[in-house]
């Protein structure tokens, strides 16, 4: 499978992260998103007329929505699928709020930044409330005790919220959830989201 990829894209990282957690190999094709905007070159528009990244090619099949890519990667991994639909849609909403705030701050994208951040904060409060309720049932992840594609879809834009000027300090349940994701075997970093330090066993 070939992933047309930009290292700083939260949406591309979702796909790289899930593939790593599943132990699936992706061939990465780096696209110069910024400043060259290579994702909108004629060659790339022929693959994805919407002019966005990521793009995943599996043989003849071309996927242009990250949620579809997460579903495609887990078609033979049922434990990674749960009651995900509403959270996949929530993840798209996060892209338009926290994701845009980040692109505004790091790549100078146009945005009504205060309004966009306010929407992001509302969504974080909603997520915090849900994850706190989950913890009463001993569930650390969005839909249960084990991670699903819902968690991976939401994680990048939440973890990168501080890059868009939105602090995560006031959300303890979100921070525990992020810690659980960063502790999963196979977790890979992207610039801005670090792996948990390995604990040294004292002898």
Residue ranges that bind ligand GSH, judged by CB under 6 A = 9-11, 39, 52-54, 65-66, 95
Of the two residues 41 and 183, which places its CB atom closer to ligand GSH in the complex? 41
Of the two residues 73 and 140, which places its CB atom closer to ligand GSH in the complex? 73
3-state SS, residue 163: helix
Q: How far is the CB of 53 from ligand GSH (least distance, A)?
A: 4
From the number of C-beta atoms within 10 Å of its C-beta (0-12, 13-18, 19+), residue 173 rates as middle
Of the two residues 8 and 184, which places its CB atom closer to ligand GSH in the complex? 8
According to DSSP, the β-strands at 2-5 and 27-30 are parallel
What CA–CA distance (Å, rounded) separates 31 from 138? Answer: 41
Answer whether 131's CB lies under 8 Å from 176's CB. yes
Of the two residues 91 and 140, which places its CB atom closer to ligand GSH in the complex? 91
Q: How far is the CB of 86 from ligand GSH (least distance, A)?
A: 16
Q: How far is the CB of 136 from ligand GSH (least distance, A)?
A: 31
Q: How far is the CB of 158 from ligand GSH (least distance, A)?
A: 14
Of the two residues 15 and 174, which places its CB atom closer to ligand GSH in the complex? 15
Closest to 158 (Cα-Cα) out of 186, 122, 120: 120
From the number of C-beta atoms within 10 Å of its C-beta (0-12, 13-18, 19+), residue 25 rates as exposed
Q: How far is the CB of 177 from ligand GSH (least distance, A)?
A: 20
| Beta-carbon count within 10 A of 174 CB | 21
């Amino acid at each position: 499978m070939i992933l047309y990829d930009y290292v700083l894209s939260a949406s591309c990282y979702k796909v790289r992260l899930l593939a790593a957690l599943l132990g699936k190999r992706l061939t990465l094709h780096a696209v110069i998103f910024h400043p060259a905007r290579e994702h909108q070159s004629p060659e790339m528009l022929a693959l994805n007329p919407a002019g966005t990244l990521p793009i995943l090619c599996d043989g003849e099949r071309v996927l242009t929505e990250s949620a579809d890519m997460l579903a495609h990667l887990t078609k033979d991994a049922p434990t990674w699928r749960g009651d995900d639909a509403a959270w996949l849609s929530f993840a798209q909403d996060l892209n338009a709020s926290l994701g845009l705030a980040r692109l505004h701050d790091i790549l100078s994208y146009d945005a009504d930044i205060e309004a966009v951040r306010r929407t992001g904060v509302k969504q974080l409060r909603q997520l915090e409330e849900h994850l706190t309720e989950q913890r009463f049932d001993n569930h650390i992840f969005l839909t249960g005790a084990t991670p699903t594609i819902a968690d991976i879809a939401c994680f990048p834009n939440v973890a990168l919220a501080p890059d868009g000027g939105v602090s995560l300090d006031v959300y303890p349940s979100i921070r525990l959830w992020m810690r659980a994701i960063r502790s999963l075997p196979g977790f890979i970093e992207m610039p801005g989201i670090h792996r948990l330090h390995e604990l040294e066993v004292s002898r």
